[in-house]
Structure 1
Amino acid sequence: MAGGQTTAAAFLVAELRRARIRRGWSQEELARAVNYSPSMVSAVELGQQPPTPKYLELFDGALDTGGLYTRMLTNLVPLDRAQSWRRGAKALVEQAAKLRWYEPLYVPGLLQTQDYARAVFESGGLLDHTEVECRLAERIDNQAILSGDPSPYLMAIIDEAAIRRCVGGRKVIADQVSHLVRVATEHPRVRLHVVPQTAAEYPGLGGPFLLATSREGNDVAFLASHIGGQELDRPADLDLLRQVWEVSLGEAYTPTQSIELMREVAESWS
């Protein structure tokens, strides 16, 4: 529901359940027909997981609908202002199997030290002490996902400007860049790429973004801002961000080269 009105996404989810029941199938029987797990079928019908184009293609084929539900996803769901499976950045990260994070200005939140994160939140004096402490605690708590079992695979692209900016003072930024080196060399599921300052203009400079891939292979993007964030799952939007990611990765150093650069930068701040 959005503004008291049923969204196209919620309608699609409800109709999928009705179609299954009309056929006289249980969730387990539908799962076998579409070659997905019963838990995936349940998550889709509860609005906890968006039905992917592949899922709907198999659903349409199993129930011989003539492609009805695939067309609903393609033509109706994008018209929604808010889709029923919107989850927020924290949930996207927690539920992801893979994260692709691009940052031109700051160190990605999952990789920030406490002192660096505090400096980010305190900058400009725009937030009061209570709000700073609340956001800081949430950020540090979110980082526990990297020590989880399983933890998501995180690939981050950071512009060199982000580690050249003196956030929080020389010691804070030196410790932060040293922390990046430790994570990049010691964490088996984290890969860091730095785009050097010698690179010319490239599409990533347009702004930071996160691409989260669920365990079912579904992508959702998140664009952060000062007043919240925006989730994107339209195929055209995702395709564009994937292209931005690939071009930006092409401009970046390899992980080994990036680690060497970060070591040099950390030393320059010491």
Structure 2
Amino acid sequence: MDVNKILESVLGSQLPGQTGGSGDGGQPGGRGGGLAGSLLGGAAAGGLMGMLTGSKKKGGLGGKVITYGGLAVVGGLAYKAYRDWQAKNAAAPAQAQAPAQIPASAPTPIAPAGFDVENDRDAAGDDFRLILVRAMIAAAQSDDHIYQDEHRRIREQVKEWDLGPTEKAALYDYFSDPADAATIARLARTDEQRAEIYLASALSIDPDTPQEQAYLQSLADRLGLPEGLRGYLDAEAEAARLGVD
């Protein structure tokens, strides 16, 4: 399976019939520097995630945060949340410290070993980026706003693209599967991956409906996130959304 083709299709890139996006292998450009520029590098292209989140009344701002090339940002932001959470625990029972805030214009944190999304493997030995894609799609569909018409348009778009049968079959499966937090959580191999899966899910939506909020709660429970870590991950997701508002 060509993982890069899957990422391009879901997150947006210059596939046939699309314009804009990143034409240099996913390196964002032309939208300014810092976190917002990195996250928005290929947003103009849309991708299948754009079709999902764009059908929401609110426009799915959260879905615009991650674009092709943005999965590495997930590792960096998850690492920052994990680091701040660890620092808070190390400081206890000393005076509690609020997590450090990074302005939207600040450079994206560089993820160390353990948060290297692009070179990691999941519990089944497969490319970890595919799990993040599945997690994003599941989160986007968790409020049941995706109707038959949206699924039909997605299938028609996939059919038109110059993809191999394996890639097309994978995309059909990803978008037809129900939002199942348990299935997604079982694919995590490490605590770092659990943090990344949760953060990618939270970034993919604006959790403004009871269904989305319940899904993120269920995902956090199924992942078994360490106590207190979810708050730091949610804070990073919210800061990233504000950075592209």
TM-score (norm 2): 0.29
Larger radius of gyration: 1
Q: Which has the higher contact order (CA 8 A, sep 6+)?
A: 2
TM-score (norm 1): 0.27
- Structure with the bigger percentage of strand: 1
